[in-house]
Amino acid sequence: MDHLVPTVEQDRQRMTDRLFLDDLHVGQRFASASHVVDADQIKRFGAEFDPQPFHLDEDAAANSLFAGLVASGWHTAALTMRLLLMGGAPIAGGIVGAGGEIAWPRPTRPGDALQVVSEVMEIRPSRTKPDKGIVLLRSETRNQRDEVVQVLTAKLVVPRKPQASASPSEPTLEDVVAGTNTHVGHVVRHDSAYDWEAAPWAW
């Protein structure tokens, strides 16, 4: 864990180099620090959140469909979040996600050194909240063999620079939300669950 704690210098840099919505452009890329996952971390996370044999015990895991100990996908996701905060996405105001898509093409295994490489895919200022917007950020979490263990495409809430928020541009937040709801299609029944405008922390 110790090597995951940011130094004072890293914290200072994060404050001064942070990027507002207006500083971002489509195609912009970021690379995080790296983090080595060991068996103890995998088992500890597994015991607390995902207690299945292939996350808990080498012998039991050897006989599972994974043929060895693997990290919970949610552990990979949590470590990805940590790496995004360690230079992986130097966003002003921190990293606030409204949701996204996640895939685990292959599992994380003990000894893997994970790094997150991200790219800005879309930037959408909000029509109703002129001080912020949504950024679609695609983040690949890769191991030391450059194999992708996770792909996360996240919708991040990013503040605008105060002086740049006078004339919000199209497309609108409603387009983003509509696009999301269109995709999930019939699985969205409880529209109130998607009332983004009512979520004060996001919009």
- Is 56 a binding residue for a copy of itself by CB under 8 A? The answer is no
Per CB under 8 A, contacts with a copy of itself among 131-190 are 136, 138, 140, 148, 151, 153, 180, 183-184, 186-187, 190
Main-chain dihedrals φ then ψ at residue 60, nearest 5 degrees: -65, -40
Q: Which of 98, 127, 129, 172 binds a copy of itself (CB under 8 A)?
A: 98
Listed residue (130, 137, 129) closest to 98, CA to CA: 137
The CB-of-162 to a copy of itself minimum distance in angstroms stands at 15
3-state secondary structure 35-82: EECCHHHHHHHHHHHCCCHHHHCHHHHHCCCCCCCCCCHHHHHHHHHH
Helix boundaries (H) for the chain: 8-16, 39-49, 53-56, 58-62, 73-83, 173-184
- Is 70 a binding residue for a copy of itself by CB under 8 A? The answer is yes
- DSSP 8-state code for residue 84: I
- DSSP 8-state code for residue 113: E
The CB-of-148 to a copy of itself minimum distance in angstroms stands at 4
The CB-of-6 to a copy of itself minimum distance in angstroms stands at 7
- Is 200 a binding residue for a copy of itself by CB under 8 A? The answer is yes
CB 54, CB 65: distance < 8 Å: yes
- Is 39 a binding residue for a copy of itself by CB under 8 A? The answer is no
Q: Using CB under 8 A as the criterion, which residues of the chain lie in contact with a copy of itself when the complex forms?
A: 1, 4, 6, 45, 48-54, 65-67, 70, 72-75, 77-79, 81-82, 85, 93-107, 121, 136, 138, 140, 148, 151, 153, 180, 183-184, 186-187, 190, 192-196, 199-201
